[in-house]
A and B are shown apart, each in its own frame.
Chain A
Amino acid sequence: MNNTFQLDGEEIPFTPGQTIMQAATAHGSYIPHLCWHPDFSVHGSCKLCTVKVNGRFGSSCTMEAQPGMEVENRTAELDDKRRTLLQMLFVEGNHFCPSCEKSGDCKLQATAYELKMMSPHFDMFYPDRPVDASHPDILLDFNRCIMCGLCVAASREADGKNIFAMGGRGLLGRRVHVSSESGKLADTDFAATDRAASICPVGVILSKRRGFVVPIGRRTYDLAPISAQVTEKAP
């Protein structure tokens, strides 16, 4: 059997060792995801990329493609579950898009548009999450954190710095920590040129003094929905 599998009935080629997500992305097919990034090791935590492989649920970012697999992706059943996951992310943080600099470029928001999320559905948590504005060039607004782990991976794997780490327990206790004695970003060797400074899919890690530079109508996801912008470079 040749190295292809079926994604919603479409034939997708893969090279052995590729995950379903890698093969689909290389082919330009969109599987909703938040914590996956082609440049970094797999985190597998957001569960948005869950697909049905031969009738069974699996994470497409961790599951290796196999010849002849029949993968369901954008079905009503799976998109309903994905929308619910998004709604839980929206209520457990403080996601106020109108006042967020990342709005229009945010993967959480764009994915919610793609899945037609009309409301948060659940009761809001309104957690108290302090902002860290100590660094001269970078602002950390943890209100928007979705715990994808990409900053942790980017700092470790690309920058060799280990500036961020996941820690704490429980829904409101578990969060991203800054690895310095004071817990402040200013007391690390974090630089605005670090890969981790530009990896955040939401509006947590922001460069200071350049908010709202791109006008509404010309931002990333104003131009086209996230499902129409699948490339291996900018997933």
Chain B
Amino acid sequence: MNAPMSPPKKLRVATTSLAGCFGCHMSFLDIDERILKLLELIEFDRSPLTDIKHCGPCDLGIIEGGLCNAENVHVLREFRRNCKIILALGACAINGGLPAQRNHLDLRDVLEEVYQTEHLLGRGGIPNDPELPLPLNKVHPIHEVVKVDYFLPGCPPSADAIWKLLTDLLAGRTPTLGHGLLHYD
């Protein structure tokens, strides 16, 4: 009797949300029951879905959100060190998105407006706990800091677009998105 064949090695996938709203992760979960099919092919490393805190060696790293503070940059570099392929998922990772709307304002003015001068918002001054990562002067997309292999725009990208891209990648094809799947809003 033949020995049972060992199942093919699953690809390891890590995900994170930097300066994002987790909307891209929610859209990813909108692939619904297709996630069961996906889990036959992949296993998750660091991700909000697993609560693993640090990224180990992975085949694919999915980055949602841009870079608005020092910790975002640190996490992004950890992903780039460990992942063979980095995917920028959604508008914020690709062009800074909504957080980058602060880029034409002075950072100190923004912090003072929120934490000091604005009557209904200001409580106790600008936070300066050493545990808090320092904000960057401007918000940046991730391709300005590390090499990014694939981009999937959208705010968020639709579940169908995410599914198409992931299944293309898993099958070893260059991902292509037709009309209706590629959108920036």
Contacts and interface: CB of A to CB of B under 8 A. Distances in A.
Interface stretch (A18-26, A98-106, A161-169, A193-201): A98-106
Nearest to A121: B143
B155 interface: yes
A103 B179 contact: no
A42 interface: no
Interface in B33-75: none
A118 B91 CA distance: 10
The majority secondary structure among interface residues of chain A is: loop
A124 B96 contact: yes
A118 B95 contact: no
B98 A98 contact: yes
B97 interface: yes
Contacts, number: 69
B32 interface: no
Contacts of A96: 91, 95, 97-98, 100-101
A171 B86 CA distance: 32
Interface string A106-123: 000100110010111101
A126 B103 CA distance: 7
B141 interface: yes
Contact of A119 (B88, B179, B180): B88
Contact of B155 (A95, A97, A222, A225): A97
A222 B182 CA distance: 10
Category for how many chain B residues contact A? 20 to 34
B93 to A, nearest CB: 9
A85 interface: no
A113 B179 contact: yes
B27 to A, nearest CB: 13
Interface stretch (B5-13, B114-122, B144-152): B144-152
A18 B138 CA distance: 48
A181 interface: no
Given A96-B97, A96-B101, A120-B94, 9 more contacts: A99-B101, A116-B176, A116-B182, A118-B153, A118-B182, A119-B153, A120-B143, A126-B103, A224-B179
Interface of A: 90, 94-100, 103-104, 109, 112-113, 116, 118-121, 123-124, 126-129, 216, 222, 224-225
18 contacts: A95-B95, A96-B95, A97-B184, A97-B185, A98-B91, A99-B98, A99-B101, A118-B152, A119-B94, A120-B94, A120-B95, A121-B143, A124-B95, A124-B140, A124-B141, A126-B100, A126-B138, A129-B104
